[in-house]
Chain A
Amino acid sequence: MMLVPCPFCGPRDASEFRWVGEAHRRPAVAEATPPEWRAYLYLRRNVAGWSVETWYHRAGCRRYFRAERHTVTNAFRAAQAPGAVDAPGREVA
């Protein structure tokens, strides 16, 4: 069993959550060139190590938050409410 530390509800079973993906920066939508936009859409760091991610507590508080997880051990070390942007899954890194 894996526990995900929801900053609003505390640690809960991973099955309550949806993993949204790596938190990364959205380019300025009006200025981005097609290659820049596609790089944003498709390219990922996919590190084997600590990664900052967006999670959604779908069977709990139904809020998005940012968490830092080690992708080899699945250990979490930080979780916090999202910052400026609240859009689903596209947290500003």
Chain B
Amino acid sequence: MDARNGFHANGRPRWRRYSALSLLRHGLTHEDWPRAWRAHDLAPRYDVVVIGAGVHGLAAAYYLAKNHGITNVAVLDKGYVGGGASGRNTAILRSNYLTPEGVRFYHRSVALYRGLAAELNFNVMFEQRGHLTLAHTDGALRTMRWRAEVNKLEGVESEVIAPAEVKRLVPFLDVSSGTRYPILGALYHPPGGIIRHDAVNWGYARGADARGVHIHQNTEVTGIDVERGRVVGVRTSRGKIATRTVLNCTAGWATVVADMARVRLPIVTHPLQAAVTEPVKSFLHAVVVSGSLHVYVSQTARGELVLGASVDPFASYSTRGSLEFTEELAGHVLQLMPSLGKLRLLRQWAGLCDMTPDYSPVMGVTPVEGFYVDVGWGTYGFKAGPVSGEAMAELVATGRTPEIIAAFGLARFTEGRLVGEKGAAAVGH
């Protein structure tokens, strides 16, 4: 298919909006659907270069164009749109974090996600099915009560519920007291849910493209040119770009890219593995998470169970799956839902998670002028895509750090102002 298919000679899209009418018309005419975004030659100069065409990079580019009118933007990716962590996560959205800074931040993200399908004219399939974090110990219950109070203060629906209520919400859970990790209660977060992650990536890519952003796939950044403490250009596998603003929106390669600008980050990269089962009839409505069992389970709209775990126990850039993971995961899922014993796994995969010491991300300016970071997203990056994009776009456009990300700056590690989110950000601690 021609790369420019679906666009007029002047670059305007032939079909801007998806609708029931356009679906009907395409059904009748059998016309090719227009491509959602175009391929371009690399321009010699961009106002802003975003590294990483995942949800964070694409959202930042989209909001730069939409909210701030900055459209001479390139989004570079060494692979393809949404091929990294944005396409490998388990697509769970929630805002029931532990710190007020974290709760406010993710609350805004869920709000943006709620309006995203209309905003992007792209069905992102967000279903607010409710999110349950199971407590198997007194310590976990204590953290959950704490989280529930912080959540309520910030206006986020969140409460601790008893095992009987857990059983009512998820009848397939084993809430008996005879198990190795009995369920003592749960943190219930009704606005939490699941989304179609690919649709979010594609929707942002299409929206950014329609506003003039250039998306360059298969374009690897090989160097960042810094002169007298400020960014002046980016070298790529397809040539050089002159720019004074670079935004590092990578996951997995955050330190590799930051090293090019000689910026050091408090990040260690761990793989995180996940798996899906064969599809079955819909039986699991809520998202179920267990910290003690290092597992989270949700059922997609097409019936597959998506199973995730904690990060692998050592740092690595390898995305190979391991049998140890599958064994442990299956054992833990069966402790929660013994009735799944006959269900078969379809596939497993791994994504890379950039872990920070306090389980909070790193967003904002760096010691190199013009080099911004939106990194350190650990296991919670996808759910923050829209709000990060919005805030980073504002920072790049105005030069001022928005209040909503002020606590997450890189300087907090040298100034000793960590945002400890471990109690709510990760399973398996």
Residues of A within 8 A of B (CB): 1-2, 14-15, 18-19, 21-22, 34-35, 38-39, 41-48, 51, 71-74
Secondary structure type dominating chain B contacts: loop
Residues of B within 8 A of A1 (CB): 322-324
Nearest CB on B from A5, distance (A): 14
Inter-subunit contact A74/B316 (CB<8 Å) = yes
B130 CB to closest chain A CB (Å) equals 35
CB distance from B267 to the nearest CB of A (A): 6
Q: Which residue of A lies closest to B357 (CB)?
A: A42
Q: Nearest chain B CB to A91's CB is how many angstroms away?
A: 15
Contact check, B324 vs A15: say whether CB atoms are below 8 A apart. Answer: yes
In the complex, which residues of chain B have a beta carbon less than 8 angstroms from the beta carbon of A45? 255
B residues contacting the other copy or chain, number (CB 8 A): 23
| 8 residue pairs A–B, Cβ–Cβ below 8 Å | A2-B322, A22-B268, A39-B414, A41-B357, A44-B267, A46-B268, A71-B316, A72-B317
A2, A21, A39: which has the most chain B beta carbons within 10 Å? A2
B320 to A, closest residue via Cβ = A74
Q: A18 touches which one: B255, B313, B318, B357 (CB < 8 A)?
A: B313
Q: Is B44 an interface residue (CB 8 A)?
A: no
A13 to B323, CA, bound (A): 12
Cβ contacts under 8 Å, B324 to chain A: 1, 14-15
A43 to B265, CA, bound (A): 6
Given A15-B324, A44-B266, A46-B269, verify A74-B357 contact (CB < 8 Å): no
Q: A18-B313, A22-B268, A43-B266 are in contact. List 15 more A-B contacts (CB 8 A).
A: A14-B314, A15-B324, A19-B315, A39-B264, A39-B414, A42-B266, A44-B266, A46-B268, A46-B269, A48-B253, A48-B256, A48-B269, A51-B315, A71-B317, A74-B318
**Which chain A residues border B256 with CB–CB below 8 Å?**
48
User: Which B residues between 132 and 179 are near A, CB-CB below 8 angstroms?
Assistant: none
Contacts of A41 in B (CB 8 A): 357
| Cβ–Cβ < 8 Å partners of B255 in chain A | 44-47
